[in-house]
């Protein structure tokens, strides 16, 4: 077997169907592109049709197979509708990536119930409902990959973690519960933990050069993250190469968490 054939067998996603929420921007978009380039048929789920069309256009222009579903993941009805529509495009997914998120972080003393409820709905409830919809089917078929995108705030509080940090910490706990339930049947569940990444979700901090520089100085690589830094880790966790990796929080942060 040639090295190319070996690597293709180990990491190829040919024949797999994937659903990527939040896949029209930032980390989710980079992951959607990576999965498509690795051979998966990718359904991108997000709210804005313009960005969805642009993303899917890029994927198909590059030779990938992709489609989009516009949906509101902030309500149970919206999540369920988006899930059913996504499953109807390329069939029941083998890979679910939960990258959609909302980053509202007022000072804790000013955090109202509306911000709390909205944050939990998008960052925690939607991944739970999507897991409940797709996880059992993956287990029945004997293969599945669920990947959640969390945050440093799941492990440490800084820059006003607020409800956002709580939601991401709970999401990592959800991943472990899902792994416990479904990994005996071939479904792995893991989280990717970014450092500070220059994406629209972090626009508030990205617009402050001093804070951006200070965060870069906290890494071991001397720079902040880019969305494309997650491509390799996502393909690994989505492929058969990661069959014995489950319930884990995989830090992709340039050493931010250990420096």
Distances (CA, A) of 47 to 73, 148, 200, 205, 222: 8, 18, 14, 23, 34
Say how many C-beta atoms besides its own lie within 10 A of residue 252's C-beta: 19
Active site residue 244: no
How is residue 203 annotated by DSSP?
Answer: H
| Three-point CA angle 119, 35, 71, nearest 5° | 35
* Catalytic entry in 6, 164, 185, 244: 164
- Residue 46, classed as helix, strand or coil, is strand
Look up residue 110 and give its two tokens: 């000013």
Strands (E), 130-240: 144-149, 187-194
| Three-point CA angle 193, 198, 204, nearest 5° | 105
Residues that are catalytic? 164
């Amino acid at each position: 077997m040639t090295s190319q054939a070996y690597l293709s067998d180990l990491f190829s996603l040919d024949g797999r169907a994937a659903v990527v929420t939040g896949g029209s921007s930032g980390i989710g978009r980079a992951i959607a592109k990576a999965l498509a380039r690795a051979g998966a048929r990718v359904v991108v789920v997000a709210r804005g049709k313009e960005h969805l069309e642009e993303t899917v256009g890029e994927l198909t222009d590059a030779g990938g197979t992709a489609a989009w579903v516009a949906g509101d993941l902030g309500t149970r009805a919206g999540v369920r509708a988006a899930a059913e529509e996504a499953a109807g495009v390329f069939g029941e997914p083998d890979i679910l990536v939960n990258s959609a998120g909302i980053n509202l972080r007022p000072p804790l003393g000013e955090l109202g119930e509306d911000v709390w409820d909205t944050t939990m709905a998008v960052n925690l409830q939607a991944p739970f409902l999507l897991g409940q919809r797709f996880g059992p089917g993956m287990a029945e078929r004997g293969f599945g990959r669920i990947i959640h995108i969390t945050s440093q705030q799941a492990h440490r509080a800084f820059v006003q973690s607020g409800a956002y940090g709580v939601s991401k910490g709970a999401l990592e706990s959800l991943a472990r519960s899902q792994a416990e339930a479904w990994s005996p049947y071939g479904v792995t569940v893991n989280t990717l933990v970014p450092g500070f990444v220059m994406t629209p979700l972090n626009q508030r901090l990205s617009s402050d050069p001093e804070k951006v520089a200070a965060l870069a100085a906290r890494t071991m690589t001397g720079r902040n993250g880019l969305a494309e830094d997650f491509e390799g880790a996502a393909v690994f966790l989505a492929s058969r190469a990661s069959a014995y990796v489950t319930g884990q929080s995989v830090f992709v942060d340039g050493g931010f968490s250990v420096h």
